[in-house]
């Protein structure tokens, strides 16, 4: 399929100060759009000026949340090139999400090509200041105009781009997390392993409660027994106990993070023992109290690695690793960001050049 390109007549001014980009607030001049109907399949792929959608108020996505999305980044290297980090994995995961949401799958090679063409059109929007990147948000929404719970017949696939600032402008410091035993994000057999809006809607109330209590993120336990750790905020979670890396096994209610997969692969490459299994929160609290060497960190595209310094579980607040960034947490963060920005070798072939 040929992608039609229509350039914007007027371009927006680019942000003058890349230290003030923030996250998800600025959008570029163009977007990618493509439509689906049962007769034509996915058709009419086009790059065109970024503009609002006009939607009938009865459009199905607005009522039943039938949608999926992805989040990945393009990085400007020190040489000035632009590269993506494991984009094929994001596109592949979007099709897994689509299957669970009864959305027709997209051709993965075509989607990667569309993304590269869009970034090529928007190359001047990829920021270059340290820690900045171009956040990419591919999304598919149900577009039938109909009230009634069923899978839509028609869909829109779009990609928008947003230059984003450094995640740690004040330094790479540990955060405080709150373990909720009152709320669940997802349950096995539900949609937890899909990247779909409902999971994020389900997380808002507990997130607000955590903030009110002075914690940055919620640590989610399993939805059945409320004992086993699943994720932290919108990130996967890792523990290090006496040099062993441990992360909850994928069980259907955890999003299979691409950063998670990369941390596991690096641990294996470095011959560090790494286990995917069920982890009870009490096991971690006990390990810290027994004086073992504990590190906790979240992993995800936005922050890459997010160190945890305090865990609140019930009435107890436990300090992890003297509230300092642990050595393995630091090592994973440095290696991943060095690969993403082209400062280190890429032994796994994770980066995908755009320009």
Ligand X SMILES: Cc1ncc(COP(=O)(O)O)c(C=O)c1O
> Considering only residues 207, 257, 321, 326, which one is a binding residue for ligand X as defined by CB under 6 A?
257
Does 260 interact with ligand X (rule: CB under 6 A)? yes
- Given a contact cutoff of 8 angstroms between Cβ atoms, the answer to whether 34 and 47 are in contact is no
DSSP labels, 131-142? T-EEEEEEEEEE
Helix or strand (DSSP H, E) at 61: helix 60-64
Residues 284, 274: Cα–Cα separation, whole Å:
16
The total number of residues written for the chain in this structure: 355
Residues 282, 81: Cα–Cα separation, whole Å:
46
Does 231 interact with ligand X (rule: CB under 6 A)? yes
Does 258 interact with ligand X (rule: CB under 6 A)? yes
DSSP three-state, residue 246? strand
Compare residues 155 and 238 and give the one whose CB is closer to ligand X: 238
> Considering only residues 26, 255, 281, 294, which one is a binding residue for ligand X as defined by CB under 6 A?
255
Compare residues 45 and 257 and give the one whose CB is closer to ligand X: 257
Binding footprint of ligand X, residue count (CB under 6 A): 13
DSSP three-state, residue 210? helix
Compare residues 36 and 85 and give the one whose CB is closer to ligand X: 85
Q: How far is the CB of 70 from ligand X (least distance, A)?
A: 8
> Considering only residues 133, 217, 236, 340, which one is a binding residue for ligand X as defined by CB under 6 A?
236
Specify the DSSP class assigned to residue 228. Answer: B
Does 223 interact with ligand X (rule: CB under 6 A)? no
Distance, CA of 285 to chain centre? 27
Does 229 interact with ligand X (rule: CB under 6 A)? no
Compare residues 68 and 255 and give the one whose CB is closer to ligand X: 255
Compare residues 259 and 337 and give the one whose CB is closer to ligand X: 259
Residues 24, 8: Cα–Cα separation, whole Å:
21
Does 132 interact with ligand X (rule: CB under 6 A)? no
Q: How far is the CB of 242 from ligand X (least distance, A)?
A: 25
Compare residues 152 and 299 and give the one whose CB is closer to ligand X: 299
Does 248 interact with ligand X (rule: CB under 6 A)? no
∠317-260-338 over CA atoms, to 5°? 105
**Positions in 61-80 near ligand X (CB under 6 A):** 71
Q: How far is the CB of 152 from ligand X (least distance, A)?
A: 23
Does 235 interact with ligand X (rule: CB under 6 A)? yes
Residues 354, 61: Cα–Cα separation, whole Å:
32
**Positions in 324-353 near ligand X (CB under 6 A):** none
Compare residues 114 and 237 and give the one whose CB is closer to ligand X: 237
Compare residues 103 and 235 and give the one whose CB is closer to ligand X: 235
Does 259 interact with ligand X (rule: CB under 6 A)? yes
DSSP three-state, residue 332? helix
Specify the DSSP class assigned to residue 221. Answer: E
Residues 257, 231: Cα–Cα separation, whole Å:
10
**Positions in 286-305 near ligand X (CB under 6 A):** 299-301
Tell me the pairing of strands 304-313 and 294-300: antiparallel
Q: How far is the CB of 60 from ligand X (least distance, A)?
A: 23
Residues 155, 66: Cα–Cα separation, whole Å:
10
Q: Which residues of the shown chain bind ligand X in the complex (CB under 6 A)?
A: 71, 231, 234-236, 255, 257-260, 299-301
């Amino acid at each position: 399929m040929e992608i039609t390109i229509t350039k914007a007549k007027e371009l927006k001014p680019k942000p003058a100060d890349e230290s003030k980009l923030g996250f998800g607030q600025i959008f570029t001049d163009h977007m990618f759009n493509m439509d689906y109907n049962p007769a034509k399949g996915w058709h009419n792929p086009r790059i065109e000026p970024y503009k609002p959608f006009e939607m009938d108020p009865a459009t199905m996505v607005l009522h039943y949340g039938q949608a999926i999305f992805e989040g990945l980044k393009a990085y400007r290297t020190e040489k000035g090139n632009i590269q993506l980090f494991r984009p094929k994995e994001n596109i592949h995961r979007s099709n897994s999400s689509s299957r669970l949401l009864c959305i027709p799958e997209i051709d993965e090679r075509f989607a990667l090509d569309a993304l590269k063409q869009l970034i090529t059109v928007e190359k001047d929007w990829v920021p270059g200041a340290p820690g900045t990147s171009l956040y990419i948000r591919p999304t598919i929404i149900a577009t039938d105009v109909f009230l009634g719970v069923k899978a839509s017949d028609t869909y829109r696939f779009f990609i928008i781009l947003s230059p984003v600032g450094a995640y740690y402008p004040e330094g790479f410091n540990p955060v405080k997390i709150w373990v909720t035993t009152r709320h669940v994000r997802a349950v096995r057999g539900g949609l937890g392993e899909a990247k779909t809006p409902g999971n994020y809607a389900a997380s808002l109330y507990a997130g607000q409660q955590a903030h009110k209590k002075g914690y940055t993120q919620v640590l989610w336990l399993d939805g059945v027994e409320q004992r086993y750790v699943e994720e932290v905020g919108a990130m996967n979670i890792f523990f290090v106990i006496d040099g062993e890396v441990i992360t909850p096994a994928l069980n259907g209610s955890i999003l299979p993070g691409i950063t998670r997969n990369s941390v596991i692969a690096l641990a294996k490459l470095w011959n560090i023992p790494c286990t995917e299994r069920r982890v009870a929160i009490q096991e971690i609290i006990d390990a810290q109290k027994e004086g073992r060497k504990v590190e906790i960190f979240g992993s995800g595209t936005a922050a890459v690695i997010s160190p945890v310094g305090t865990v609140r579980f019930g009435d107890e607040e436990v300090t992890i690793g003297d509230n300092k960034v642990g050595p393995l947490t630091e090592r994973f963060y440095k290696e991943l960001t060095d690969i993403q920005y082209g400062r280190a070798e890429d032994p796994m072939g994770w980066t995908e050049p755009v320009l």
